Amino acid sequence: MSEDKEAQEDELLALASIYDEDEFNQAESAQGGEIRFCLELPPDFKVVTKGEMKTEYNVSFLPPLVLNFELPADYPSSSPPAFTLSSKWMTRTQMSALCRRLDELWEENQGCVILFTWSQFLKEEVLDFLGIQSPLEVIRMGSKGAERRKTDSAATALPSCPFEKPEEMIKDITNEKCEEKLSCSQPDPRTVLLMDPRADLLPQLLDFDEVQRQKVFDSKVFSCAICFAEKLGSNCLCFKECQHVYCKACMTEYFQIQIRDGNVQCLNCPEPKCSSLATQLQVKELVDEDLFARYDRLLLQSTLDLMADVVYCPRQFCGTAVMVEPDTTMGICSACQYAFCTLCKMGYHGVSHCKIQTDDLRQLRDEYLSATPAGQKFMEQRFGKRVIQKAVEESFSVDWLSENCKLCPRCGTNIQKVDGCNKMTCTSCKQYFCWLCMAVLSKVNPYSHFNSPQSPCYNSLFHGVDMNDDEDAFWSDEED
């Protein structure tokens, strides 16, 4: 008995030195404990969902296979350890095959300590022993086969072995490897499922894989591509898409500058020509609450700005995002009930022309004409193609009138000077006026304005008039 006790103590001490605290926990009240085995998956191992849509995921880690054991007083001289096997993703049939293999290993090594031998098998040989290969099929709850599996004692993961029930495995001779190892009629009572068979397994697999990847990353040393300092992964940030790594100190300063400047769409990898974006969780981890709130608000606003059917209420105290119906220029704010024109942002005016400022009209025209075809299509969707065309035409008309016409000083009618002298007559109110200084001229003697030495336009009746060769000939003394 003393020899068995000593052998048990030595074995437990050896296990504690081999595995860390996350992998091995020794029981306090008895000679026993728990070992968690994360199986070593081959590179590019994939999980595939089986259902209406087939989706593929790369995983590096699967939830552990757990061995709980208790050492009897006459172990290892006579009795084997009492144990249970549990898993989230294996079927009870597969775990039963593993239990039988552990029994076989004890029979082959009876009288010797066996826990390390079991550990080596469960950690390194399970995938090959069960014939589990990539891709690992997972049936998602809600698919056609899921209801049938609710009453089965197996979990929702389907490795490469296609069988679900032991009797099916016995009858089929096309998979002799599986038939030989999985030929019992009842699951071993030492097997335990760690989750409800009706639950969706895929999120559990992906979450565990993400956590384990982060643990591995945190324990490695990386060189920051900005400050070139060597730091642990726990002090670094890795962009998910490109896998470029930078220290958190550099990225915190980078994020803070971009968010303060309002460039929330530019929190991308600093590597030149790299378009990988930081996730919201990564940003939240590195900046304070106020700055993240600004980032979250601006990100939402920039996303809404890219939607052709969303505009903002023009009232300064409101600014609520408003959904606009297609082919209309009317928006109705859900917060303040303000009905407005989406083009001029004034109160809705129906089919009447927009009273839009010339500068705003010109800005809209220039933005449309300088945009890419995709950008022009977006603006047409947002404001309406008819409205855009009308704005462009009106803007060009305003520019042309501004460059080529002057307003009558009496009635404000646009007057274009085609030829002739600088004494003009309004086509609307028949008022005489000077084209040069826009002064109103006397109807009795309008030319006195150009003949009086005190007038600013003295002797300028034909100032600025181009006299070409033909006109010179017309006004020559020979023709007079």
Give dist(CA 152, CA 73) in Å, integer: 37
Q: What is the pLDDT of residue 354?
A: 65
Give dist(CA 59, CA 210) in Å, integer: 9
Position 99 confidence tier, pLDDT thresholds 50, 70, 90: very high
How far from chain centre, in Å, is Cα 117?
47
| Class of the domain covering 2-205 | alpha beta
Return the H-helix or E-strand segment holding 250.
Answer: helix 248-260
More confident call, 27 vs 376: 27
pLDDT digits (tens, 9 = 90+) for 133-168: 888 887 765 544 443 333 333 334 444 343 333 333
Which residues have C-beta within 8 Å of that of residue 331, sequence separation ≥ 6?
A: 311, 313, 322, 324, 339, 340, 341, 342, 348
Q: What is the pLDDT of residue 173?
A: 28
Q: What is the pLDDT of residue 1?
A: 62
Q: What is the DSSP string of 32-45?
A: EEEEEE---PPTT-
Buried b (16+ CB within 10 A) or exposed e, 245-273: bbbbbbbbebbeebbeeeebeebbbeeee
Mean of the pLDDT values across residues 365-387? 72
Give dist(CA 203, CA 195) in Å, integer: 12
**Sign of the Cα pseudo-torsion (72, 76, 80, 86, in order):** positive
Mean of the pLDDT values across residues 182-198? 74
What is the Cβ-side half-sphere exposure of residue 84, based on CA atoms within 13 angstroms? 11
* Whether residue 181 has pLDDT greater than 80: no
Structure tokens at 374: 């995709």
Lowest mean pLDDT among 7-21, 179-193, 284-298, 406-420: 179-193
Q: What is the pLDDT of residue 466?
A: 67
More confident call, 457 vs 194: 457
Lowest mean pLDDT among 14-23, 346-355, 384-393: 384-393
Cis peptide, bond prior to residue 64, ω within 30 of zero: no
| Class of the domain covering 310-404 | mainly beta
Give dist(CA 350, CA 207) in Å, integer: 54
* Whole-model pTM over 0.75: no
User: What 8-state DSSP symbol labels residue 410?
Assistant: T
Mean of the pLDDT values across residues 430-437? 89
pLDDT digits (tens, 9 = 90+) for 36-92: 998 878 888 888 886 666 788 888 888 999 999 999 999 999 999 999 999 988 888
Position 107 confidence tier, pLDDT thresholds 50, 70, 90: very high
Residue pair 99/190 in contact by the 8 Å Cβ criterion: yes
Give dist(CA 52, CA 146) in Å, integer: 12
Position 331 confidence tier, pLDDT thresholds 50, 70, 90: confident
More confident call, 472 vs 3: 3
Give dist(CA 418, CA 420) in Å, integer: 7
CATH of domain 220-305: 3.30.40.10
pLDDT digits (tens, 9 = 90+) for 307-317: 667 788 888 78
Q: What is the pLDDT of residue 221?
A: 93
Q: Is 421 helix (H, G, I), strand (E, B) or coil?
A: coil
* Whether residue 357 has pLDDT greater than 70: no
User: What 8-state DSSP symbol labels residue 233?
Assistant: G
Residues annotated as part of the active site: 421
Give dist(CA 329, CA 364) in Å, integer: 15
Structure tokens at 393: 């035409």
Residue pair 323/304 in contact by the 8 Å Cβ criterion: no
> What does pLDDT average to over the chain?
79
Helix axes 115-124, 92-108, angle to 10 degrees: 140
Q: Vertex 237, ends 231 and 240: CA angle to 5°?
A: 135
Name the residue ranges covered by the structural domains of the chain.
2-205, 220-305, 310-404, 420-472
Q: What is the pLDDT of residue 305?
A: 63
Highest mean pLDDT among 26-35, 249-258, 361-370: 249-258
Q: What are phi and psi of 407, to 5 degrees?
A: -90, 135
Q: What is the pLDDT of residue 52?
A: 64
The proportion of the chain whose per-residue pLDDT surpasses 90, expressed as a percent, equals: 18
* Whether residue 169 has pLDDT greater than 60: no
